[in-house]
Structures are given as C-alpha cells and as structure tokens.
Amino acid sequence: MATVTYDKATRVYPGAETPAVDKLDIEIADGEFLVLVGPSGCGKSTSLRMLAGLEDVNEGNIRIGDRDVTHLPPKDRDIAMVFQNYALYPHMTVADNMGFALKIAGVPKAEIRKKVEDAAKILDLTKYLDRKPKALSGGQRQRVAMGRAIVREPQVFLMDEPLSNLDAKLRVQTRTQIASLQRRLGITTVYVTHDQVEALTMGDRVAVLKDGLLQQVDSPRNMYDRPANVFVAGFIGSPAMNLVEVPIIDGGVKFGNSVVPVERDAIKAAADRGDKTVTVGIRPEHFDLVNGDGGDSGKTLSKDERAGVPVTVNVVEELGADGYVYGTADVGGEKRDLVVRVSGRSVPEKGTTLHVVPHAGETHVFSTSTGERLSD
C-alpha cells in the first residue's frame, strides 16, 4: 500500500501549444479511492497514464510512496491497470488470464493457482475459471480484468473508465462491487470517469479537471454543497445546477420579481471587483413553488413573494418519487432555461406556468467576471 503524489506534474504533447495536463498537484492518501472526472479532453486519462508510466512527464514529479517514479518504466512502478476494453487474451481461460502476469514474473504454479482462486472467490468467478472470455458477459469480463489486477497485489490500482462498455443497470451494479471491493482490499485507487454520478457515488474524494487544470479536489458531499467555481457547480450534480446572472441590489440580488437575500460578504466581494452582477446558482431541489403547485414544500407565499419567477413548463421528466420540470423563465429581461424538482405525485402539465423562488440559504454566489465562488 502507498500514497500517490502528483507534484506539479505537466504533460505537453509534441506539437501542442498548451499542456494536456498543467501543473497537477494532488496528494492521494494510502488506501484512498480518488476519482478523476471531467468532460472529454480535460486531461483525466492523460493524468492516469502519466502515473502508469504510459505518458512522459515534461515537468514536475510523480511519487508512489517515497519513490520518485517520474521516469521509471511501467513494470517498475508496482501498479496494476484496469482498462475500458478489458484487454483479455481470447485464447486463454479465465484462470490463465488472471494469472498471466504472475506466470511471466516466474511465480510458482501452485502459488499462482492459489492467488487466482482467492481472487475468483472475492469476485464470484470461481465457476468461470475454465471458460474463455467469449463465453462471458461484459460484466463478467470486467471482473476478470479486476481479478488480474488483484492477484498481482500492487501498491496502486489504476482504472480507466472500466464501466463505460456496460449497460446502465450493470454499470450501477458493478460500480457498487468495485467500491466495496476497494474498501475491503484497502489498495490506493485512482479511477477515471466522465460520469459525474459515478464519481460522486464511488470516490472518497473527487478531483474535477477542465482543460488540463485541476478545478477542485474534495469529498463528494463538499463538492456538491460548496463548488469552487461556476464550472464545478455546473458539472457536478444531475440535473445540473441552475446558473443565472442577476443584478446586485440593496438587500441581495434581484431574481425575477423577488429580492433573494445572499451573504453580504459575497455581495461586497463582487462590488470590490467592480461587478454590477453576480452569477447565482440554485440546485433544482432548492426551489419553493408557490401555492403548492408541484414542489416539495408546497409553500404558500406572501403577496410580495407570489410573483416569484414564472417558469413555463416545456418538458417534464417523471422518475417516480420525483419529477423534473425543464422550463423557461424571464430573468432580468432575458429568457433562461431552469430545471425545478417537483413532487412525483403532483406533476404539472406541459405548457403550464409555475412560480418559483429559491430557498433561503441555499443559493450559491459566483463572480460573473472570474467564475470563482464568493459565498461561504
């Protein structure tokens, strides 16, 4: 077991003008499950491949435990990688696939067999050991790839979008198995995904990247409750946070016909920058709906509040217990798309109008000019 440290690690591809990964600084604790997440092209897979030794590090260092592995070949790093496409040998049985790396390393046959059987028991693969990969389902093949990594007993697991080839139901099931297995084995794991739901449900901590730059690294809960900037706010959470540019006025910000109180320090910080507006973020579940027209609270609002913001319902996504309204609102004289969570028992019809106001204390305030978080 070991810690992993990215110390201002940078990767610039030949002929590229900007780094694919720029001065990445992360310390991963012994036994921690860290998820790298971000949109396509953000540098997450490159970061993982730098740690694996499959990409050069142009500046900075990477350490596994106390060893500087920046320029070591992959075979000397004591890591095991699980790929998106399983990378199994089709002509070998499951047992042979799982034990192949140990065979190459010259481990005695009896020891290989024991390690393979132990790993198969953990992964519920015992009855498939004599089968070839083509006789297995996608989920079973991914478990074989996991088994091949486990038998090597590495210091670090590296996983590059291992679930993206599975269907939705199997993906949910397998991510639970991987997270549970990692906690049981206690092996430091770096996991890459583009799926932010996967990131939030699996990781001890999540690192969000954009254009090769680390935006925030934090626990899933803190990242959801206190996103560091507009990008993280819009990326983490499903459906995404509503982000609306609104004018600053006395007492708070103007949201439609309502004045929404926000922290004075946030307003002061925006004013000190010379900003006349701020970007306010509101999660879909943090709206009150006027007079019980579909919201969780069904709150009856005062006459002054009642105007709120009228939202024209365009699409309703029904999920059983909850529903999500995708609508259009007039905020500050401009048409804005808003997503509002409503009760699954009281779903509005397409074309109707809801009136909404944000929950007090559940707004996020960001600088319009820089995108940085201003509220505590």
pLDDT along the chain (376 residues), means of 10: 93 94 97 95 95 96 95 93 87 94 92 93 92 91 90 92 85 88 92 92 96 96 95 93 87 75 82 84 90 48 58 92 91 86 88 87 89 88
The pLDDT tens digits of the residues spanning 174-229 come to 888 889 889 988 999 999 999 988 999 999 999 999 999 999 999 999 999 999 99
Per-residue pLDDT, 250: 75
Residue 118 CB partners (closer than 8 Å, separation 6+): 151
DSSP state of 299: P
How many angstroms separate the CA atoms of 223 and 231, rounded? Answer: 12
Write down how long the chain is. 376
CA distance 27 to 153: 22
- Nearest 10 degrees: CA dihedral of 203, 208, 50, 92? 40
**Residue 214 to residue 287: CA distance in whole angstroms:** 30
Rounded-to-integer distance, Cα 283 and Cα 289, Å: 14
Alpha carbons 134 and 239: distance in angstroms, whole number: 37
pLDDT value of position 296: 44
Cα of first residue to Cα of last residue in the chain, in angstroms, is 36
Query: What three-state secondary structure class fits 317?
Result: strand
b (16+ CB within 10 A) / e for 104-113: eeeeeeeebe
pLDDT of residue 305: 45
pTM of the model: 0.88
Question: Domains of the chain (ranges plus CATH)?
Answer: 4-235 (3.40.50.300), 242-367 (2.40.50.140)
Question: What's the rounded Cα separation, in Å, for the pair 367 and 271?
Answer: 10
Q: What is the rounded CA–CA span in Å between residue 32 and residue 277?
A: 40
